[in-house]
A and B are shown apart, each in its own frame.
Chain A
Amino acid sequence: MDLTEQQIERYSRHILLQQVGYEGQLKIAQGKVLIIGAGGLGAPAALYLAAAGVGTIGIIDADVVDITNLQRQVIHHTPDIGVPKVTSAANKIAEINPDVRVIQYHSWFNPDNALQIISDYDFIIDGTDNFPTKFLINDACVMVGKAFSHGGILRFEGQTFTHIPGTACYRCIFPKVPPKNLVPTCSQAGVLGSIAGMLGTIQATEALKYILGIGDLLTNKLLVFNALNMQFRTVPVKKNDNCPVCGTNPSITELVMEEQAVCELKTK
């Protein structure tokens, strides 16, 4: 595989980097990243990964674009209201970079399709907004041995970490889905739109570092930030021997969608 003259120009700022170079750009071009959820986190991640020239980007989301999404889900534009998010995202990616092959999954990520879908990718980005799916992504990636980036945002805060086989997983930190009645409801929550961009681009950066094999990933550490005072903190976390999915004696051996909190506000 070789880059064309046009691609050399397009990716010149990558090629200039000592840690990327021509070879690195070829690795990116051969990279396959799955983005679960084309929302607040998935949108910026998809935009930057597409611009970076990631060869294959998979996007899974069953939703359609709603006007309430536009405040932060920057891959969707006003004329896209009512359009499936995967279609809207694929259209923008094609405009940014026709080199990218987009695979659209217009469905929810669930225990029936999880293992099959993630097996086709090198790196998975959790861009979902609910705990049952976050736990499902974690369990599926741990079971198949895939690297993924966890991301969460709320109000003015964000958190993220990266899992690769053998390092701490989501359940090492949070063993089980939080109780239904304690999850903040949609009406209580809210999020500053730009926070989604801050976190989604960190996740995209982790995906690129993983594909390139450079730097230190956010493994065995949880990055948390609060945008109100712009404080970033990296909390070391350990792989937990008692973890229900990656511990020495796991109690979770098959995928299930755990009971989820029911939101009082319907999205539509």
Chain B
Amino acid sequence: MIHTIDITKEHCPMTFVKTKIKLAQIAQGDLLEVTLKAGEPLENVPRSAAEQGFIVLETKQLHDDVYQVTIQK
């Protein structure tokens, strides 16, 4: 199952806090598509997710400085 979260309005560290809470709520193996801004969020959210044992599957640009990172629980 694929879930989504938009953290474009959040700032560090709430970007990863919100992502982490969403990941806690979904089932093992499910995917989470995280919409985030370039810069700090794009650099840190995938890295933090990987550090805490999640799998970062892909990163793609949606438009301008908005990206989507797909994370598997």
Contact = CB atoms under 8 A, between A and B. Distances in A.
Interface string A14-31: 011010011100000000
A15 to B, nearest CB: 5
Interface residues of A, number: 10
A9 B20 CA distance: 13
A155 B64 CA distance: 63
Contact of A18 (B14, B21, B25, B53): B53
B52 A15 contact: no
Given A9-B14, A12-B14, A16-B13, A22 B53 contact: no
A8 interface: yes
A13 interface: yes
Contact of A22 (B13, B16, B20): B20
B27 interface: no
A21 B53 contact: no
B21 A16 contact: no
A172 to B, nearest CB: 39
Contacts of A8: 14, 17-18, 21
14 contacts: A8-B14, A8-B18, A9-B17, A12-B13, A12-B14, A12-B17, A15-B17, A16-B20, A16-B48, A18-B51, A18-B52, A18-B53, A21-B20, A22-B24
Interface of B: 13-14, 16-18, 20-21, 24-25, 48, 51-53
Interface of A: 8-9, 12-13, 15-16, 18, 21-23
